[in-house]
Structure 1
Amino acid sequence: MDVLEARARFRELRGSDGPVDPVELDEIWAALATVRPEDVLGEWKGGEFRTGHPLNGALAKADWYGKTFTAVDDAKPLICRDATGGLYSNRALGKGEASLWTVEFRGESTATMVYDGQPVFDHFKRVDDSTLMGIMNGKGVPAEGPFFYFFLERVES
């Protein structure tokens, strides 16, 4: 799969209500370009792919909005909505906040968010200039997964 095919298929799957096969998401991931931490700074609105992962639906219950990367050492992984619709960093759910690093995952070095209070990593690759694909990984997850797959869309100010 080349990058253009990967982008097209990503868009189809992102808009899908049905379950998504993680094998297909892995094929898309493999075709996408890596990113540097500095390239992902800003505010992002998020969503998840329904793969049957145990975390599917958990972020929606927390009214997860997305992520904000103010600086490489100031990442807010769980921006949620409060009862009035306002946005806040849900530090309790995330056990703190996070920072951005370049980490090797599946043989490629790419921007990765490292959580401060738990052994969790969110790896990112570029779909296009305003969209990232993410894979959540962490301690205790075997090399073959299961992984939590998600996406971020840049919020234009």
Structure 2
Amino acid sequence: MEILRNYQLILETGKTTTEKALELFDTLEPVNLGFMFGRWHGSGLHTNHPMDGLLEISNWYGKEFIDSENVHPLLFLDSRGEIFQVAPNPTLMNWVLKLPIPKNNSFKPLLILINSLLKTEKSQARLRMMEYREKVTATMIYDYLPINDSFRKVDENTVLGIMDYKNISQPFFFILKRCL
């Protein structure tokens, strides 16, 4: 019951500390590969991470897991509200994380334009069962970035994700809700 109250408070505010997010993540059950198949709508969980707010101002939609070999890790919305897939760019990722980009809507048009230049139809990740924080769970492995996203089950249609990026010691948290 304490876990549920913790989770509800985190969802209401959209923010928490890294420590509390890790505590919550560690209490949740792992998921298998099949559980992740489908399209998911995402939202960031703010923990004072350099990426906090960045996905929202860039019109991030979520992720899509076709099967274990074909994953679209970055789905975005264009200016018409249409979903498209983006190929993550390692150079751009490092640049964005090093520069102090204001997390407000004034940069939204520029970020949407940049994302539109990175459109792809090709899968950019895969899904494997991997151990992370002492539990084996479904983990998305980017093809061209040193990033693994591990998932834990909140309920039948919600997972808490944690991005483990080799270049930043602090994990980034996000919530995925299954598109029904």
TM-score normalized with structure 1 length: 0.88
- For residue 61 of structure 1, report the CA deviation from its aligned partner: 2.4
- For residue 106 of structure 1, report the CA deviation from its aligned partner: 1.2
Match of 1:76 in 2: 72
Secondary structure at 1:6 match in 2: helix
Match of 2:146 in 1: 119
Any stretches of 5+ residues in structure 1 without a counterpart? none
Match of 1:86 in 2: 82
- For residue 71 of structure 1, report the CA deviation from its aligned partner: 0.7
Match of 2:62 in 1: 66
Superposition RMSD in Å:
1.7
1:5 correspondence with 2:29: no
2:33–2:138 Cα contact (<8 Å) kept:
yes
Secondary structure at 1:24 match in 2: helix
What is the CA–CA distance in structure 1 between the aligned matches of 2:178 and 2:65, rounded to whole Å?
11
Task: Return the structure number with greater strand share.
Answer: 1
Aligned pair count? 149
Q: Deviating runs (4+, > 3 A) in structure 1?
A: 92-96
- For residue 92 of structure 1, report the CA deviation from its aligned partner: 4.5
Secondary structure at 2:80 match in 1: coil
What is the CA–CA distance in structure 1 between the aligned matches of 2:45 and 2:128, rounded to whole Å?
24
1:154 correspondence with 2:152: no
Match of 2:25 in 1: 29
2:88–2:124 Cα contact (<8 Å) kept:
no
What is the CA–CA distance in structure 2 between the aligned matches of 1:92 and 1:115, rounded to whole Å?
8
- For residue 27 of structure 1, report the CA deviation from its aligned partner: 1.2
- For residue 93 of structure 1, report the CA deviation from its aligned partner: 4.9
- Aligned residue type for 1:14: L
Any stretches of 5+ residues in structure 2 without a counterpart? 91-117
What is the CA–CA distance in structure 2 between the aligned matches of 1:16 and 1:74, rounded to whole Å?
33
Task: Return the structure number with greater helix share.
Answer: 2
- When Rg is computed on C-alpha atoms for both structures, the one with the higher figure is 2
What is the CA–CA distance in structure 1 between the aligned matches of 2:89 and 2:179, rounded to whole Å?
23
Pick from 51, 56, 70 the counterpart of residue 52 of structure 2: 56
- For residue 77 of structure 1, report the CA deviation from its aligned partner: 0.8
